[in-house]
Amino acid sequence: MSRHTPSMSVMVAAARKAARGLQRDFGEVENLQVSLKGPANFVTAADKKAEKVLFEELSKARPGYSFLMEEGGVVEGSDKSHRWIIDPLDGTTNFLHGIPMFAISIALERDGQLVAGLVYNPISDEMFIAEKGQGAFLNDRRIRVAVRRDLAQAVVATGIPHIGRPGHARFSAELGTVMNEVAGVRRMGSAALDLAYVAAGRFDAYWEAALAPWDMAAGIVLIREAGGFVADLKGGDAMLDSGGIVAGNDVLYRKLGDLLKKAHKQA
Ligand code: IPD
Ligand code: CA
Ligand code: CA
């Protein structure tokens, strides 16, 4: 069983409330697939609605905390030492296409340090939570990163830059190198869930470039508390600032990081 601090209880309650709206709206999206106009506007509204619920619930429970949110941007609170980092819907493309692989992601930062993370998939009802020093949990069961040390046996997740995003050539070079060394590469469409899956030992490792802080903040706490490691794509600690991240156990995050550096030299 996990021992929560009151802050985690607040995060869980807010996520569950926002999730109820997303569950309803996802059901609606599945119906809208057949209409020509498609569900795009509807999904934007669902996204904003979920963020509003999270903002209201967290503000009510912790007045004064600051926010960094995908939709609403920065909201400075009177309490400068605490900040929520939120993606109300990570995996928008999946949601839009009726693919049940998306999540709410909430992280709490205290004095510039990530201290708590929650990633919740409302469709599978999988709640991944972690607090600094307390371990990582999936629906109250302790989770740990996988123990495989050999890239040739590793299933590695990533994110592919889509239309209008930078980094296509660089990603092709990365994939070209990585796919020759690993058992399989997966692109699930939610960075938050990719990191949660690494924390749970489902994926052995993960990398992606050009992410935003709200895509990875919660997942980073999960990985660390599950005994794993994260770095930016240069092997440093600037994941949130650089947007690049590589994650895995102590051996694989390094091996994958080295492979990526090799790929970048060739690109
Ligand atoms: C996206 C997802 C995706 C990643 C993209 C993100 P969104 O977030 O995390 O897996 O590859 O870079 O922008 O737009 O669905 O919140
Ligand atoms: Ca996102
Ligand atoms: Ca989002």
Q: Indicate if ligand 1 lies below 6 Å from the C-beta of 90.
A: yes
Mean of all residue pLDDT scores within the chain = 96
Query: CATH number of the domain that 222 lies in?
Result: 3.40.190.80
Q: Which domain holds residue 226?
A: 151-266
Where in the chain does DSSP place strands (E)?
65-69, 73-75, 79-90, 103-110, 113-121, 126-131, 135-138, 141-143, 155-158, 184-186, 205-208, 229-231, 245-248
Query: CATH number of the domain that 59 lies in?
Result: 3.30.540.10
> Are 74 and 170 contained in the same domain?
no
Q: What confidence score (pLDDT) does residue 51 get?
A: 98
* Structural domain includes residue 182: yes
Q: Out of 89, 119, 143, pick the residue that ends a domain.
A: 143
Neighbours of 63 (CB within 10 A): 10
Q: What confidence score (pLDDT) does residue 136 get?
A: 98
> Are 71 and 166 contained in the same domain?
no
Residue 41 has pLDDT above 90, yes or no: no
What letter does residue 152 receive in the DSSP assignment? G
Place 37 in a pLDDT band, splitting at 50, 70 and 90: low
Residue 33 has pLDDT above 90, yes or no: no
> Are 166 and 40 contained in the same domain?
no
Percent of the chain scoring above 70 in pLDDT: 97
Q: Indicate if ligand 1 lies below 6 Å from the C-beta of 92.
A: yes
Q: What confidence score (pLDDT) does residue 7 get?
A: 97
What are the pLDDT digits (tens) for 146-189?
A: 999 999 999 999 999 999 988 999 999 999 999 999 999 999 99
Start-to-end Cα distance in the chain: 47
> Are 38 and 79 contained in the same domain?
yes
Q: Which atom of ligand 1 is nearest to the CA of 87?
A: 16
> Are 224 and 155 contained in the same domain?
yes
> Are 59 and 123 contained in the same domain?
yes
Q: For the chain, what is the domain count?
A: 2
Q: What confidence score (pLDDT) does residue 39 get?
A: 77
Q: Indicate if ligand 1 lies below 6 Å from the C-beta of 91.
A: yes
Q: Out of 102, 125, 143, pick the residue that ends a domain.
A: 143
User: What is this structure's pTM?
Assistant: 0.97
